[in-house]
Amino acid sequence: MISQFFVLSQRGDNIVFRDYRGEVPKGSAEIFFRKVKFWKDDGQEEAPPVFHVDGVNYFHVKVVGLLFVATTRVNVSPSLILELLQRIARVIKDYIGVLNEDSLRKNFVLVYELLDDVIDFGYVQTTSTEVLKSYVFNEPIAVDAARFQALGPAAMFMQGTKRMPGTAVTKSVVANEPGGRRREEIFVDIIEKISITFSSSGYILTSEIDGTIQMKSYLTGNPEIRLALNEDLSIGKDGRSVYDYRSSSGSGIVILDDCNFHESVHLDSFEMDRTLSLVPPDGEFPVMNYRMTQEFKPPFRINTLIEEVGSSKAEVILKIRAEFPSSITANTIAIQMPLPKYTTRANFELEPGVVGQTTDFKESNKRLEWGLQKIVGGSEHTLRAKLTFSQESHGNITKESGPVSMTFTIPMYNASRLQVKYLQIAKKSSTYNPYRWVRYVTQANSYVARI
């Protein structure tokens, strides 16, 4: 049970606000944003997804730069409310097509209609896009799809040198094509978030993949489809070592620790030939979620060297190498490295002729930041930073620095090697779009190198 739901922009503007029970003060949105913006408790840089202020519990998730927030005075399950906020964001995106501040403002009438059908007096009724179609009557207002590039990898669809239109998956599930024609398309994404920890010598200490097969359907008539995965896919380690390369290299076997499926998926033939059959509901939904701790080849290698060059100076050398093929390019790479607390200045030196790279020293929290617009597979990049300290160093600079953390997105690449072999639609139709529909995306969930 929740009392309020609201959506805030990055500036704190209240875009959507609905008070269901009148138990929480009207100024809760301002209180929440001020608390999140100036969060300093326990030395944390960001506010946790759940916190308590003056008898009110605040729950929030950030989706494409927007803050989706729920408040309540009662003790409810945090995971339940956080999942509800994610589902509300997904439902709104299904109906308005592009989820950003501009689209929310233009479609506020439709958004409020959705919220009234999803939640009644603070209690959840349904979060199914398909079920809600019977109760939603407002038409979505289209926005400029080019502006949704901020959504990141979901905005990309590459097939060799051919690019699908950027609007292909950014339209409402209830919107028709010009002339009243229905869209007959289905899109499949394999999105993986990887977590890796390297030792100071470069060896992998921990590695994990949290992946999902995401589907968005625009097919009319709800036809049955079959989705085929790797034939040599194995669920569970079956007694193998977590880091046993013999079970995964060469033979192409993909070993997942565990997985779960959407309620519409039928597993009648999954054990036999690794195919899933389902009747896809309208909108976007996860077909399969999976986790893998079998050691895999990391997409990047990070090497760090710290050398003292005087009593109050040191030099840091950061080197990154892309371990994936040269036909693939990583985007929006961000590297951070905490420095000793007595660091006062950092002078940076990049490779000659580089473009699309930025450096910064955050004096407030003594942190080095290095941003790269893109990295081509097989390439190597180096950053040198000359540090100046406010005092003579008497400790171990290496122990007082790091670890190095990295975030990135790699389109058309997946570390687990899980693949969709084919997709079959039971109902034949000449209007179905023949484009290749599978997209692979790898993102960094936690990519850390110790020094």
Nearest by Cα to 385 from 405, 406, 361, 365: 361
How far apart are the C-alpha atoms of 192 and 411, rounded to whole Å? 10
Q: At what angle do helices 78-96 and 108-118 cross, to 10 degrees?
A: 140
**pLDDT at residue 183 in the model:** 66
- Give me the pLDDT at residue 19, please: 94
Residue 421 amino acid letter: K
**Are the beta carbons of 185 and 203 closer than 8 angstroms?**
no
Q: What is the largest CA-CA distance in the chain?
A: 75
Distance CA 147, CA 98 (A): 9
CATH architecture of the domain covering 4-133 = 2-Layer Sandwich (3.30)
Q: What is the reported pLDDT for 292?
A: 94
Q: Which two tokens stand for residue 150?
A: 């901020």
Q: What is the pLDDT along the chain (451 residues), one digit of tens a residue?
A: 899 999 999 999 999 999 999 899 889 999 999 999 888 655 567 889 999 999 999 999 999 889 999 999 999 999 999 999 999 999 999 999 889 999 999 999 999 999 999 999 999 999 998 889 888 888 888 876 544 444 344 444 333 333 443 445 677 887 766 655 666 788 899 999 999 999 888 889 999 999 999 998 888 777 899 999 998 899 886 534 333 433 333 346 889 999 999 999 999 889 899 999 999 888 888 999 999 998 889 999 999 999 888 778 899 999 999 999 999 999 999 999 999 988 999 999 999 888 899 999 998 889 999 999 999 999 999 999 999 988 776 678 888 898 999 999 999 999 999 999 988 888 776 666 655 568 899 999 899 998 8
Q: Where are the domains of the chain?
A: 4-133, 185-240+248-296+413-449, 300-411
Is the omega angle on the peptide bond into residue 403 within 30 degrees of 0, that is, cis?
yes
CATH: 2.30.30.230, 2.60.40.1170, 1.20.1300.10, 3.30.1330.40. Which one for 300-411? 2.60.40.1170
Angle, alpha carbons 219-225-226 (nearest 5°): 150
Q: Is 378 helix (H, G, I), strand (E, B) or coil?
A: coil
Q: Where are the alpha helices (DSSP H) in 97-198?
A: 101-106, 108-118, 129-132
Separation CA 403–CA 302 (nearest Å): 11
Residue tagged 């080019």 (tokens): 146
pTM: 0.78
Domains 185-240+248-296+413-449 and 300-411 are alike in CATH topology: yes
Q: Beta-carbon neighbour count of residue 252 at 10 Å?
A: 11
**How many other C-beta atoms are found inside a 10 Å radius of the C-beta of residue 5?**
23
pLDDT tens-digit map of 361-375: 998 889 999 999 999
Q: Which residue has the tokens 């009557």?
A: 137
Coil vs helix vs strand at 192:
strand
CB atoms closer than 10 angstroms to residue 354: 12
Which residues are registered as beta bridge partners of 382?
319
What would the two tokens of residue 135 be?
Answer: 């109760």
Query: Is the separation of the CB atoms in 419 and 229 below 8 Å?
Result: yes
CATH of domain 185-240+248-296+413-449: 2.60.40.1170
Contact 384, 370 (CB under 8 A): no
